[in-house]
Structure 1
Amino acid sequence: MSKERAQRRAERERLAAIEATARAAEQERKARRDARVATLTRWVPKGRGRPTGVIAARNRTRTRMVVVSVIALNVLVWVASGDWAVRLLALALSVLIAPILLILMTS
């Protein structure tokens, strides 16, 4: 009986040693990967967060309104007009005028 227990214990210890070796190898791979990532991300500049506050929210809302208006206007021109030249002209003008409109609205 004690011989069987010793064999089972030896088998458990062998399996535990195999698992410990696998865990150690995985931890070593993770440490090397983390070191590579840290080396590479050191060169990348940190991004700034999105502006917060009442003025920033107002500007975002204003920008969304202009974008939605430009899209709605283009859809309206697209549906109302059958001429491709008018459609493309409206699209080109909206792309050119929308930034100017945003600048005028914020000043």
Structure 2
Amino acid sequence: MSRERARRRAEREAEQARQAALRAERRARSARRRERLDRLTAPVAAVLPRRGVRIAGQRGILARRRRAQNGVVAVLFLIVQVIAWLLVSSWAARFGVLVLSLLLVPVLVTVAFDRRS
């Protein structure tokens, strides 16, 4: 009976040692991979925020209103561009509408949404 228990214990310990060796190998491989990735991304990491750090967006009524206004402006800009592409066949005129739209959007946003006046 004690020989049988000793044999099973030896098998268990051998299996545990094998599992520990596999875990150690995985950890070492992961560490090597992480090291390679850190070496590749080190120049970029100096510029970008750390991984996992969230940059919180603005909340509240004013932020929601601003997002809604920006959405309306973007949709209207796209509608103007689609209409210009459908109605005008000249590439120069299409480009002119694009440039004119890009120049007039800030003016119209200021006139329509400015709260200072």
Same fold (TM over 0.5): yes
Residues 43-94 of structure 1: CA distance to partner in whole angstroms, max 9, x if unpaired? Answer: 9476641111111111110010011001000100110111111111001111
Partner of 1:86: 93
Partner of 1:53: 60
TM (normalized to structure 2)? Answer: 0.64
User: Does 2:99 align with 1:69?
Assistant: no
- Cα offset for 1:20? 2.7
CA distance in 1, matches of 2:90, 2:24: 70
Residues 8-56 of structure 1: CA distance to partner in whole angstroms, max 9, x if unpaired? Answer: 32111111122234435629x66xx6xx7xxx68x94766411111111
Q: Which has the higher helix share?
A: 1
TM (normalized to structure 1)? Answer: 0.69
Q: How many residues align?
A: 98
Aligned AA for 1:103? T
Q: Which runs of 5+ in 2 are unaligned?
A: 39-44
Partner of 2:10: 10
Aligned AA for 2:7? Q
